[in-house]
Structure 1
Amino acid sequence: MDLPTSNTWLTNLHPPVMPPEPSLWPPAPGWWLLAVLLSGLVLIWAVRSWRLWRRDGYRRAALKELGRIRFQLRSDEHRTQALRALPQLLRRTALAASRQSGAADAPTVQPQSLSGSDWWGWLDRHWPEGRFSAGSGERLHRLAYASEAALDELSESLVSELCDRVEGWIRQHRRPELMPC
């Protein structure tokens, strides 16, 4: 058999039929499963984040109030009032935290029933740094009842340190976890 010398037989061939590109939709069952798992994880994360944000509303309010107090401390006419408000803010924040948490130790140790060294010890136990019962933190309790002359004598660095301690406690104090829904 003689083969043709020209390519005429190749020109009569049809081009190969290619299968269609694989479709991306609908995805395989594994992708559906992954989508459901990821959606569930995102939903769980969103609910937990919302609950934490809502639960820590008292912290945001206390930090806002502390910002107002710090602003008033710059003014000579409002300085005394702001210094007296500092320990009150700390007490109100602790009360809000203990009321909201539904703490297991709530029936035995309520912050509103504590005073003096018991109060400062309670603050220390609920803050990892625990620096209220010693150092400049113990001066905080004197702010509420000190004379105006004694408040005027406080140095700016001491007042700033007290404000930093109050802010540190508000931001970092430990609370018992809420019961899951």
Structure 2
Amino acid sequence: MTDAAVQHTDTSKSMVVDHALSRRLARDHQRKKQPALWIGGAAIVLLFGFGTFALNGNVRSLILAAFWGLVIAIGFVAIRHLGTQKLTRVIEGLYPSGERLTVTVSDTGVTVTTSATNLTVAASALWRISTAPHSVMVRIHGLIGPAMILPRELLDDADVARLRALAPRIRRG
């Protein structure tokens, strides 16, 4: 089969946005980025606590490490909570509750349409597509976070595979 014989059509799906959508999408995003923070924090506590205990043999070093471990854990939980709240408000602004949300996947990219927004990411700008239980995150070159967080129910596995084919992680040339 030649490239001329392969023909893709635009796939477009829509839904009415419910009140819980923004919280589900924000939680998915936070879950994707949290493990590295927790591993880094635990490594710092272990290195600090057991390192100083190994150097001086004092049990107070372990107690101090436990204290700092508790402080770091509280900090991470607070950061996650605040990040989720902020992202929830942003998503609520993009996808207003009660409005119709339409996602169109084509060979030229992905388009999200509501009454408040019309966002398009060209296929040439796509960098990475990642999925979570309730969301699909579209990343573009140059951004640290996702450019779009889409509801998973609007993109089936074929749509995700199509977007991934358009968005290789490492571009050559």
**Bucket of the pairwise TM-score, normalised by the shorter protein:** under 0.3
Higher helix share: 1
TM (norm. structure 2) is: 0.27
Bigger Cα Rg: 1
TM-score scaled to structure 1, two decimals? 0.26
Structure (1 or 2) with the greater strand fraction: 2
